[in-house]
Structure 1
Amino acid sequence: NAVNEDLYNLLRLTNHQRPDPSQLHRLIKTSPFFQNYELIDREGFLGEGSFSICRRCRNRRTQEEFAVKIVSLRQEVDTYNEIELLRLCQGHANIVKLHEVFTDELHTYIIMELLTGGELFYRIRTQASFSEKEASQLMKKLVSAVNFMHSNDLCHRDLKPENLLFSSPNANAEIKIIDFGFAKKRTKHQPMTTPCGTLLYTAPEVLRAATSFKDSQSSCLSTSSSSSSISTTTALVPVITTIHSGATTYGYDESCDLWSLGVILYTMLSGEVPFNSIAAHRTAEEIVEDITRSKLSY
């Protein structure tokens, strides 16, 4: 993980060496985050990515607990974008609250409200499926949150059950959208062309963009999802096209989020992800073909 590598590189340590306590004390003493917060060791680990980790932390003054996303400065530009877009979405009950942000010589620290109810994905796994009443209540809140984002010209681009967390374990807890790492601020009348998201929840027009980007490094489309092993047919969203140098380039707009919501609703009601339940051990190419053709198995 890059967050740990940053520390070892700064202290010039090998993977087999442990940091000296005095070195760590110096870093902590000069870090604005650690001056205000402390990490909670016991059950404090919340998640990990290639360039970030998410931990539970506590405000030293108030003792209030939060979640902190610690991101390597190698991702400084992307992190700045994520923070700015999350700030744009503040004020909706179903979008995670941003508390404050700190930066030191190694990392950016994004402090957010602590959501203790777990992922929607986990509830789908434990409940097998939701009743229509339960699913409609949750979907109404998610549609409201997505509409709020779209009204601010923001597209999330990675809506999936793993990015939907409950505020508490209670049955009536609020559901919240998290992780704005792939989010994009829309430019009016300018379609997006970079494929982003997680394959099983990705709209057909985004996959067409991925096809036109197949030889490019700009793609951030993930083929994996923790729910890949888990109906209503969703209409194919119209494709936006732009012409560049005589060649057609596929593009898409914020309606790709609506497709993802449809897949999430299907998954809540059936307990399975569409386009992945037709047969086991399916290749990414086969799933892409089924999504672009809206080929479903009931």
Structure 2
Amino acid sequence: MGCRSAKVLPSQSDIKNDPKKKRYVSVMQSLAAFAREREHQEELKKNKGGWFSTKTKSMVAEVKQQEEKQETYTDKFDARVTARYHIKALIGRGSFSRVVRAEHRSSRRPFAIKMTEVDAPQAREVCAAELAVLRRVNHPNVVRLVEVFQCPRRVYVVLELATGGELLDHVISRGHYTEQDAARALRMVLAGVGYLHSLGITHRDLKPENLLYYHPGVDSRLLVTDFGLATFGGAGTPGRSKSPQSGEVTGTSSSCSLRTTCGTPEYMAPEVVLRKAYTCAVDMWAIGVIAYILLSGSMPFEDDSKTRLYRSIVRGKYSFRRNPWPSVSNPAKDFIRALLESDPGRRPSAQQASRHPWILATTGGSSSRNLHRSVSRNLLRRTPRNSSRTKSAADRSISKQLVPVLS
């Protein structure tokens, strides 16, 4: 059998009895401790110079690359804009426009800047109409215009930045959601829309994607945004007439109705689908659709076939059968029925809707049952097929496009 050498350590008694051995062991222990400490320091140094430095270099390179991209993007902006605002990131894109997040260089406050290319006549018309509305409005529940920079080929519109997200995303992110929460959101929508109607402005594209919370907190105000299809008229304002070219209100007449077919199909009122003259009551129909979604997570009118969709809208065919409707109070359903009235003359105004018992009630008139699970599940189920949540605002709205008249 083979043998192997091994170190034989002195016993404790030998160390105690022999001072030399005692000193020897003490020295060896000190050397071993010093070696271990040096090895530990080398390992730390190695880690710091290896993994840490590699990560740092990667982070520095990434930041530098982002800065280079941002500088290239910033260079596309007018010098007057970049002198006052620091461009942060692209947050939205449409057919004619881009929206960026920006920071005021002196106050450090965040803003949104919408840059519109106005070379095309349609883009110039949409931009002019939107600016005409934004310059008139000033309400806590309507997005606020800060300033405008006009160039020969571009228009830069600086708006207050809403960072709280879209209405439905806010619903999904909540852990507890009741009818009172839905009513609270609708109260703010009605306040903003009622203000617009009082100025003779019809939004024409109300939907959850255009309703944004100012900040993520539970006490945030809700803002009505995106006035690309908004117009003056249709709100009972006398002394305006319709242009024969566009069908919009422009001159002087007792008529103040609108005719341009526009909006997002699922939120269109029957009179718009039928290409009839219409008023601001189309916004109230859209709020009825939004209320239906807020309380169920589903659409009252939805079909992959546009023909079948329009037919169901004209006939006003929707139901309160599926979950969670059995758990929703009758006053809430009554509120929706009042707004999804096929006859626009019988729909309540924004002021009347805001005085509905279900909207005014904080307890008793509405159910306190937690609807979050059912509503969020339905919302998440319909998101992949819902084109309006995956396409840009310009692509998901029909502007000046005729819809076939349905029998």
TM-score (norm 1): 0.71
How many Å separate the matches in 1 of 2:109 and 2:203? 29
Distance across 1 between alignment mates of 2:228 and 2:175: 29
Which structure 1 residue ranges, 5 or more long, are not aligned?
Answer: 1-18, 210-249
- Report Cα offsets for 1:52-80 as digits up to 9, x if no partner: 11110112222221011111122223212
| CA contact 1:99–1:112 (8 Å) conserved in 2 | yes
Give the drift of 1:33.
Answer: 1.6
More strand by share: 1
**Shift of residue 148 of structure 1?**
0.7
| Cα distance in 2 for residues equivalent to 1:177 and 1:114 | 12
Specify whether residues 109 and 22 from structure 1 end up closer, same or farther in structure 2 by C-alpha distance, changes over 3 A only. closer
Distance 1:174 1:261, change over 3 A: same
The answer to whether 1:269 aligns with 2:295 is yes
Residue 55 of structure 1 pairs with residue 100 of structure 2? yes
In structure 1, distance between residues paired with 2:176 and 2:134: 30
101-110 or 62-71, which moves further after superposition?
Answer: 101-110
Per the alignment, residue 207 of structure 1 pairs with 273
The aligned residue for residue 252 of structure 1 is 278
Q: Counterparts of 1:95 and 1:253 in 2: how far apart (Å)?
A: 20
Q: 1:165 aligns with which of 198, 209, 212?
A: 212
Provide the aligned C-alpha RMSD in A: 2.3
Alignment of 1:143-222 (within 5 A): 143-186=190-233, 187=240, 189-209=255-275
Query: Structure 1 residue 284 and structure 2 residue 306: aligned?
Result: yes
Larger Rg: 2
Deviation at 1:162, TM superposition (A): 0.1
| CA drift at 1:103 | 1.9
Is the CA contact 2:74–2:82 (under 8 Å) kept in the aligned structure 1? no
Q: What is the distance in 2 between the residues matched to 1:161 and 1:22?
A: 34
C-alpha separation in 1, matches of 2:90 and 2:192:
27
The one of 78, 98, 103 equivalent to 2:126 is 78
Q: Deviations over 1:217-237 (max 9, x none)?
A: xxxxxxxxxxxxxxxxxxxxx
Instruction: Give the Cα–Cα distance (whole angstroms) in 1 for the partners of residues 268 and 104 of structure 2.
Output: 38
Q: Which ranges in structure 2 are unaligned for 5 or more consecutive residues? A: 1-68, 234-239, 241-253, 322-407
Offset at 1:123? 2.4
- Counterpart position of 1:114: 161
Does the residue aligned with 1:88 lie in a helix, a strand or coil? coil
TM-score, length basis structure 2: 0.53
Say which is worse superposed, 164-173 or 53-62, in terms of deviation. Answer: 53-62
Shift of residue 127, structure 1, vs aligned partner: 5.0
Q: Tell me the amino acid that sits aligned with residue 159 of structure 2.
A: M
Partner in structure 1 of residue 49 of structure 2: none
Q: Tell me whether 1:294 sits opposite 2:341 in the alignment.
A: no
- Residue pair 1:156, 1:257 contacting (<8 A) in 2 also: yes
Q: Which residue of 2 aligns with 1:37?
A: 85
| Structure 1 residue identity aligned to 2:98 | I
Name the structure 1 match of 2:151.
Answer: 104
- TM superposition outliers: structure 1 runs of 4+ over 4 Å: 21-25, 125-130
Whole-Å Cα distance in 1 between the matches of residues 117 and 306 of structure 2? 30
Rounded Cα–Cα distance in structure 2 between residues aligned with 1:127 and 1:200: 25
> 2:164·2:170 contact (CA, 8 Å) conserved in 1?
no
The equivalent of 1:88 in structure 2 is 136
1:294 CA displacement: 0.4
